[in-house]
Amino acid sequence: MSDLKNQQEVEIQRFGKLQKWSFGMGSFAQFFINSAFNTWVFSFFFTAVGLPVHYIILAYVLWTIWNAINDPLIGIISDRTKTRWGRRKPYIMLGTIPVLIIEIILWMPPTGNDVLGFFYLLIMLFCYDTFYTMISLPYDSLFPELYTSVEERAEVNTIKQILATVGLILAFLVPGFFIGELTEMSGYLINGIVTSIIVGLSLLFSIKWGVLEREEFKLDYKHEFKFFQGLKYTLKNKGFVLYTIMFFLYEYVLLVLATVVPLFGEHILHVESTFETGILLGLMFIVGIITVMIWRKLDVKYGSKNIYAVSIILYFAATLPLLFVDSYISALITVIFMGFGFGGMLYFIYLIIADVIDEDELKTGVRREGAFFGITNFFMRLAMVLSIVTVGLVFSTTGWEEYIPTPGVDVLLGLKLLVVLFPGIALGISLVCLYFYPFPKKRVEEIKSQLIELHKKKKESVQ
């Protein structure tokens, strides 16, 4: 272990604190705008616009088909891009202004015509996803590419998760200042403008001081695989397939919670404002980020695979009281305990894919982050569709679409199952995937040792 650490000291890129925190601001911007988008689009078009739920589901399904092309395509193209700014930075700059505009005009749909409302939603989903992917995918790709040592990767991942969690918290709390009644459209628009201003300033700061690219990877744009060959090769990677399933299920859990919590707070906890319901998720994220340092130490000592499983079990166990709570205070206490497990899930889900990419570099000789993250981004959107379909089906079968309870069906039980049972099933499947995940601590250490020599050769080749 001491020899490995000495080698890693040679490999480590000595980026300063300003660069690392500036890079982390990209995570803040992504999670802020995307969480705000995911949380409020369904509520806005269903409640405020009055668009029937089947139109919303259809729009999300068509959006997913576009994602099947858009995300992997942008990922692989970015891997093969050669400019004086590097492979990733140009896409971040090109996507920033359009996504900020969309975050505003999204909340200005035509009303009184369901067909027009449907097409407006569909166009906004398509445009938002295209430009958001141009920002998020290069940022995701740069993380394992910039920081390759165990220590620095753990440090920057901690920074990223702290700032990402701040973005998540603000995404749930800020709307509470502007969105009063869920049926009032003006509050959503004001919230969109404020969100765009905050996200725009954050991205400007990050692009200026945080987005860099390493010298030894300048020639990695030269790929042996053609587009479909590379896609096929990536999907044959056992570790990546298992990770993708786990990532998909993690996003599904988070999206179901984000969609249902406003109604859970109103109808089960009897709170009167979106701000109070926002505090529920906000508190879970705050506790989660406080525990990140604990999870980081456990990660270094026992390995990501084992400790990620522990965090999943702790989170699910903590959600069980939500089946019985009926007061705001009891719900607050419950989400505090949920935050412990959630902190581990948040820490590990964006970290363990780096091991997949590192091993792939040993096999192919180049870093193909774009290809991997392009596919995972697609499944992130697919998780959104499944979450909307899940919520939509529960609403339809329990009378929520018309807000009229169906005889013989417990409407409130439906909401409780959405925050406990469905996420529990998803997390159980994640544990099965994690059991077969081929990156225990010993294997990760072997990969790191081999990468040190490969990166030395790459740097000599560039020079």
pLDDT in tens, 228-253: 676 777 788 899 999 999 999 999 99
Among the ranges given (74-78, 94-98, 352-356, 357-361), the one the predictor scored with the smallest mean pLDDT: 74-78
Separation of alpha carbons 125 and 280, rounded Å: 27
Separation of alpha carbons 209 and 23, rounded Å: 7
Confidence of residue 166 (pLDDT cuts 50, 70, 90): confident
Q: Which residue has the higher pLDDT, 242 or 50?
A: 242
The confidence score (pLDDT) of residue 308 equals: 96
Query: What crossing angle do the helices spanning 238-267 and 369-398 adopt, rounded to 10°?
Result: 40
Compute the average pLDDT of residues 326-335: 90
Q: Domain 16-209+224-462 is of which CATH architecture?
A: Up-down Bundle (1.20)
Separation of alpha carbons 342 and 335, rounded Å: 10
Using the predicted structure, report yes or no on whether residue 402 has a pLDDT greater than 70.
no
Q: Is 147 helix (H, G, I), strand (E, B) or coil?
A: coil
Cβ 170 vs Cβ 176: under 8 Å: no
Q: Above pLDDT 70, what percent of the chain?
A: 90
CA distances from 332 to 244, 253, 316, 329 (A): 32, 19, 16, 5
The confidence score (pLDDT) of residue 405 equals: 45
Separation of alpha carbons 50 and 352, rounded Å: 41
Separation of alpha carbons 175 and 448, rounded Å: 43
Compute the average pLDDT of residues 14-19: 84
Confidence of residue 409 (pLDDT cuts 50, 70, 90): very low
Using the predicted structure, report yes or no on whether residue 296 has a pLDDT greater than 80.
yes
Using the predicted structure, report yes or no on whether residue 21 has a pLDDT greater than 50.
yes
The confidence score (pLDDT) of residue 1 equals: 44
Angle among Cα 289, 292, 298 to the nearest 5 degrees reads 165
Separation of alpha carbons 444 and 158, rounded Å: 19
Confidence of residue 364 (pLDDT cuts 50, 70, 90): confident
pLDDT in tens, 59-98: 988 887 887 788 888 888 888 888 888 888 999 999 999 9
DSSP-assigned states of every residue in 410-461: -HHHHHHHHHTHHHHHHHHHHHHHHHH-S--HHHHHHHHHHHHHHHHHHHHH
Residues 6+ apart with CB under 8 A from 187: 175, 178, 179, 180, 181
Residue 65: other Cβ atoms inside 10 A: 10
pLDDT in tens, 424-463: 999 999 999 999 999 999 998 888 888 888 888 877 777 6
Count Cβ neighbours within 10 Å for each residue of 245-255 and write b for 16 or more, e otherwise: bbbbbbbbbbb
The confidence score (pLDDT) of residue 47 equals: 82
Residue entry with tokens 């409407």: 411
Q: Above pLDDT 90, what percent of the chain?
A: 35
Direct distance between the N- and C-terminal alpha carbons of the chain, in angstroms, rounded to an integer = 31
Structure token digits, residue 460: 């000599």
The confidence score (pLDDT) of residue 340 equals: 94
Extract long-range pairs of 431-434: CB within 8 Å, 24+ residues apart: 431/309, 431/312, 431/313, 433/242, 433/243, 433/245, 433/246, 434/242, 434/246, 434/305, 434/308, 434/309, 434/312
Separation of alpha carbons 8 and 77, rounded Å: 31
Separation of alpha carbons 374 and 231, rounded Å: 10
The confidence score (pLDDT) of residue 293 equals: 86
Among the ranges given (107-116, 123-132, 212-221, 292-301), the one the predictor scored with the smallest mean pLDDT: 212-221
Average pLDDT, the chain: 84
The confidence score (pLDDT) of residue 403 equals: 45
Confidence of residue 397 (pLDDT cuts 50, 70, 90): low
pLDDT in tens, 125-156: 999 989 998 999 889 889 988 887 777 888 89
The confidence score (pLDDT) of residue 225 equals: 64
What's the predicted TM-score (pTM) here? Answer: 0.77
